[in-house]
Amino acid sequence: MQQEKIDAIKSEIAATDAQNADELEAYRMKYISKKSVVGELFAEMRNIPNEEKKAYGQLINEVKVLAEEKFQELIDKVNNSQKQSKSQDIDLTLPPTNVGVGGIHPLTATRQRIIEIFERIGFNLSEGPEIEDDWHNFTALNFPENHPAREMQDTFFIEKNPDIALRTHTSSVQVRVMENQKPPIRTLSPGRVYRNEAISARAHCIFHQVEGLYVDENVGFADLKNTLYHFAKEMFGKETKVRFRPSYFPFTEPSAEIDISCQLCGGSGCNVCKGTGWVEIGGSGMVDPNVLENCGIDSKKYTGFAFGMGIERIAMLKYQIKDLRLFTENDVRFLKQFRPML
Ligand SMILES: [Zn+2]
């Protein structure tokens, strides 16, 4: 009698199917929970004569195991069919959700703009190593050993005697170009440079420079001025004024700082230009004949001019950015602001 009942429950369980969570729950109530038919079989135990208890116990345990295995099977089945139906819900004809397109970093964009301006007037691009020897970073550029001019640039040395350092300027690239090419040379060398400076709103230990070099017969200061006038007007707008202030660099003679009229106040004086109406954008000068000779160029025959600018400086002036550190913090809120301008 019990055997028949148990067999009937077993075949019922085997035949049960479930398509969704509700049917799973119905199965659980019917065959797994305490009040299920299987639960009742266990409750029946107390009415079974002692000598049959062992055999009965084995039978109902089999039912219990069967019910639980079936339950797991049904759970897996329902889960899988849900996954499938989700993947079938994807409509490939719908327009895509906005995934957020990135932008070009303002320094990269500024560098690119500078390159474009000079490329159009015949400058090519040259690159050099960021780890430099003493010759290319200092000596060939007319920085004599133990000369105080070396103190102008706080250097990260990697090795001493012979000195190997992170380049302090991209002028080292000009030396490499002059050593390997014959004039006429018209080249632009943008790149990363390193100086041991405390990081602040106006200074950083890593920054970017772009330097230009023009060496040929009869290159004069007027060529230098005209080239930089052209650059300033292209970069900052036609109204921009340029002035040159006498200065000193070991590698140029004569040397001049390049100022442009303040972009913020237009020359009338403000905080950015400290009331002068002018802001400095870089240094320049006629290549010192010693430098030409150091690089194997006949200084009797050839002359040249060179200039250098900080790319951060140009970007700060162009976009009126007040803190240099923002360029390297990679704050998306900062970077996003340049997307429409670039
Ligand atoms: Zn101003």
Query: pLDDT by residue (tens digit) across 185-224?
Result: 999 999 999 988 888 887 888 999 999 999 999 999 999 9
Backbone φ, ψ for residue 165 (5° rounding): -140, 160
User: Residue 95: pLDDT above 90?
Assistant: no
Q: What is the CATH number of the domain that holds 318?
A: 3.30.930.10
Query: pLDDT by residue (tens digit) across 68-77?
Result: 999 999 999 8
Where residue 332 falls among pLDDT bands split at 50, 70, 90? confident
Q: Residues 7, 132: one domain?
A: no
Distance CA 62, CA 14 (A): 13
Distance CA 225, CA 210 (A): 17
Residue 93 lies in a domain: no
Where residue 155 falls among pLDDT bands split at 50, 70, 90? confident
CA of 322 from ligand 1 middle (Å) equals: 13
Q: Residues 321, 253: one domain?
A: yes
253 is in an annotated binding site: yes
Average pLDDT over residues 29-33: 89
Residue whose C-alpha is closest to residue 282's, from 197, 188, 178, 215: 188
Q: Residues 332, 266: one domain?
A: yes
User: Residue 342: pLDDT above 60?
Assistant: no
Residue 166 lies in a domain: yes
Where residue 148 falls among pLDDT bands split at 50, 70, 90? low
Burial of 277 (0-12, 13-18, 19+ CB in 10 A): middle
pLDDT at 151: 65
CA of 261 from ligand 1 middle (Å) equals: 8
CA of 258 from ligand 1 middle (Å) equals: 16
pLDDT at 201: 80
- Both tokens of residue 206? 């890593």
Backbone φ, ψ for residue 25 (5° rounding): -65, -40
Where residue 1 falls among pLDDT bands split at 50, 70, 90? low
Q: Which of 29, 50, 85 is the last residue of a domain?
A: 85
Between the CA of residue 98 and those of 90, 105, 339, what are the distances in Å?
Answer: 16, 21, 16
Average pLDDT over residues 243-257: 93
Average pLDDT over residues 59-63: 89
Q: What is the mean pLDDT of the chain?
A: 88
Where residue 303 falls among pLDDT bands split at 50, 70, 90? very high
Where residue 82 falls among pLDDT bands split at 50, 70, 90? confident
Check: CB of residue 202 under 8 Å from CB of residue 89: no
Residue 41 lies in a domain: yes
Residue 56 lies in a domain: yes
CA of 266 from ligand 1 middle (Å) equals: 6
Residue 296 lies in a domain: yes
User: Residue 103: pLDDT above 70?
Assistant: yes
pLDDT at 134: 87
pLDDT at 341: 56
Expressed as residue numbers, the domain containing 25 is: 1-85
CA of 281 from ligand 1 middle (Å) equals: 14
Residue 67 lies in a domain: yes
Q: Residues 74, 159: one domain?
A: no
Looking at per-residue pLDDT, the higher value among 340 and 61 belongs to 61
Q: Residues 121, 75: one domain?
A: no
Which residues have C-beta within 8 Å of that of residue 220, sequence separation ≥ 6? 286, 303
User: Residue 2: pLDDT above 80?
Assistant: no
Q: Residues 14, 130: one domain?
A: no
pLDDT at 20: 87
Q: Residues 176, 244: one domain?
A: yes
Query: pLDDT by residue (tens digit) across 169-180?
Result: 899 999 999 999
Q: How many domains is the chain built from?
A: 2
280 phi-psi bin (left φ>0, alpha ψ -120 to 50, beta other) = beta
How far is the first Cα of the chain from the last one, in angstroms, to the nearest whole number? 87
User: Residue 153: pLDDT above 70?
Assistant: no
CA of 126 from ligand 1 middle (Å) equals: 34
Q: Residues 202, 292: one domain?
A: yes
Q: List, in sequence order, every residue forming a beta bridge with 212; answer none if it has no partner.
A: 188, 307
- How large a percentage of the chain has pLDDT more than 90? 44
Residue whose C-alpha is closest to residue 222's, from 305, 155, 301: 305
Residue 18 lies in a domain: yes
Q: List, in sequence order, every residue forming a beta bridge with 243; answer none if it has no partner.
A: 259
Residues with Cβ within 5 Å of ion ligand 1?
Answer: 262, 264-265, 270, 272-273
Burial of 233 (0-12, 13-18, 19+ CB in 10 A): middle
Residue 92 lies in a domain: no
